[in-house]
């Protein structure tokens, strides 16, 4: 039990150190000397797909912002998958106004993966970019995504750099730092390994030939992005991470919305390691073994953390005469070390990400809530998702569930001051970068 308790302490500390060292080296080796924009000698046609389900509040803004991209040759294909609000009406209106925009209206909700597979049939370009219906691309984002696909023939996918744009609530502010510290730091380290756990479903680019070679998106996997990444890597396609390909997204600002998102992420990851367990038997897949082992350990850590927390609280309420369960989820003398390492990790990540989001350092104060709240919240999400993933019947279609796009979407709900704050956040960040 004591060794088990030490694992709960040592695992996050060790992984945090690995991520920080890997991210700093990645920055020194690749980011520090990167040009302001990639030196593209050709501009092949890029097909941008936007799958949507009940996105009437954000889809028009996303398309209009995409049309402002500097890339000279691209088409936009919007796939509405069983939308029941005004999404179809908005999409059809925009297709009449803008020649670059085409639409595919699917009457039945059959899931994001199915929508992407159907949309792929309409694409004319060899290079495919997928973005979420709330993602606002920076003007040079397509340049950076296409650059790796043109110059590296074995690159099958490039994942972009999602940044949070709604930053008015406590949950949104914590996630602003989390996207830099957890997602950004880990992907930098994984890129050094040569294998990335997942492309970002929010913004990613693919080689069409690689998608077809991997067998397209899987309609029965709840997280299409993780699944396709593993299928690509099993077919020996490389997956790159490009931080300059920035897309501004909306994150959940309610506990319910955040819970649904984290359960879906956890379930998707567990489904993937459950389905592709046979990579452990294939020596050719050995560079994916660290990703597999790390995910297994993270699930085991979440279960252990909650188990020890429950036993510790039970002992406080119902004292027992034995020392067997008298162990806190984090040993008392190491609690300070865990908190310190966590704060250092956030500090390093925010400093590295300042290049892409110059205002991000001011959110460092809010990360003190991350180990206090998020560890427990994310661990609970893993426990809840575990049986759903393991006992899910293979072939069951993963259909859309409308995500929480944040409280900003209705002016009457949050007031004029906060609504205007949301509208100006991205503008201020872009202005700071230009200066």
DSSP lists the bridge partners of residue 50 as 78
Does residue 81 form part of some domain? no
Give me the pLDDT at residue 78, please: 94
In angstroms, the first-to-last Cα distance of the chain is 55
Among 108-117, 334-343, 357-366, where is mean pLDDT lowest? 334-343
Does residue 321 form part of some domain? yes
Does residue 286 form part of some domain? yes
How many CB atoms neighbour CB 398 within 10 A? 23
Structure token digits, residue 354: 């300042």
How many CB atoms neighbour CB 33 within 10 A? 7
Does residue 9 form part of some domain? yes
Find the mean pLDDT for residues 27-31.
87
Give me the pLDDT at residue 3, please: 74
Decide if 213 contacts 234 (C-beta within 8 A): no
Residues of the chain above pLDDT 90, percent: 28
Give me the pLDDT at residue 320, please: 60
Decide if 159 contacts 188 (C-beta within 8 A): no
User: To the nearest whole number, what is the mean pLDDT of the chain?
Assistant: 83
Q: What is the pTM of this model?
A: 0.84
Q: Sorting pLDDT into bands at 50, 70 and 90, what band is 418?
A: very low
Q: Sorting pLDDT into bands at 50, 70 and 90, what band is 428?
A: low
For 363, what's the count of Cα atoms within 13 Å in the CB-facing half-sphere? 29
Does residue 88 form part of some domain? no
| SS3 label, residue 131 | strand
Burial of 47 per CB tally in 10 Å (0-12, 13-18, 19+):
buried
Range of the domain at 355: 1-22+134-435
Does residue 142 form part of some domain? yes
Structure token digits, residue 433: 């970068």
Largest CA distance in the chain: 76
| SS3 label, residue 242 | strand
Find the mean pLDDT for residues 423-428.
55
Q: Distance between CA atoms of 246 and 71, rounded to whole angstroms?
A: 14
| SS3 label, residue 312 | helix
Does residue 185 form part of some domain? yes
- Total of domains in the chain: 1
Does residue 79 form part of some domain? no
């Amino acid at each position: 039990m004591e060794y088990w308790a030490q694992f709960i302490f040592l695992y996050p500390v060790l992984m945090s150190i690995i991520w920080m060292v890997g991210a700093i080296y990645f920055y020194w080796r690749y980011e520090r000397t990167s040009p302001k924009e990639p030196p593209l000698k050709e501009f092949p046609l890029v097909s941008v797909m936007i799958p949507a389900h009940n996105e009437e509040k954000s889809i028009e803004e996303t398309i209009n912002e995409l049309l402002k991209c500097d890339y000279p040759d691209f088409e936009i294909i919007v796939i509405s998958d069983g939308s029941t609000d005004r999404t179809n009406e908005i999409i059809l209106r925009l297709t009449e106004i803008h020649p670059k925009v085409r639409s595919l209206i699917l009457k039945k909700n059959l899931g994001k993966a199915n929508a992407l597979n159907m949309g792929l049939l309409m694409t004319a370009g060899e290079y495919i970019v997928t973005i979420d219906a709330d993602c606002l691309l920076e003007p040079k984002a397509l340049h950076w995504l296409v650059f790796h696909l043109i110059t590296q023939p074995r690159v099958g996918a490039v994942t972009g750099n999602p940044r949070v744009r709604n930053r008015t609530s406590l949950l949104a502010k914590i996630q602003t730092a989390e996207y830099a510290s957890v997602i950004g730091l880990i992907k930098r380290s994984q890129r050094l390994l040569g294998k990335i756990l997942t492309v970002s479903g929010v913004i990613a680019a693919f080689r069409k030939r690689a998608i077809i070679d991997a067998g397209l998106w899987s309609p029965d996997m709840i997280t299409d992005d993780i699944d396709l990444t593993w299928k690509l890597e099993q077919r020996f396609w490389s997956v790159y991470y490009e931080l300059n390909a920035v897309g501004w997204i909306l994150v959940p600002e309610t506990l319910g919305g955040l819970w649904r998102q984290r359960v879906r992420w956890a379930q998707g990851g567990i489904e993937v390691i459950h389905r592709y367990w046979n990579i452990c038997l294939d020596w050719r897949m050995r560079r994916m073994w660290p990703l597999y082992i790390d995910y297994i350990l993270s699930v085991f850590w979440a279960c252990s953390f909650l188990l020890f927390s429950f036993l510790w609280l039970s002992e406080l309420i119902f004292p027992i005469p034995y020392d067997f369960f008298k162990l806190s989820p984090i040993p008392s003398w190491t609690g300070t070390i865990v908190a310190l390492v966590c704060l250092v990790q956030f500090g390093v990540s925010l400093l590295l990400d300042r290049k892409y989001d110059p205002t991000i350092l001011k959110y460092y104060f809010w990360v003190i809530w991350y180990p206090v709240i998020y560890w427990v919240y994310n661990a609970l999400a893993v426990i809840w998702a575990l049986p759903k993933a393991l006992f899910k019947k293979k072939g069951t279609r993963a259909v859309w569930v409308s995500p929480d796009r944040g409280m900003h979407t209705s002016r009457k709900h949050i007031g004029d001051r906060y609504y205007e704050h949301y509208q100006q956040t991205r503008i201020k960040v872009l202005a700071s970068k230009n200066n």
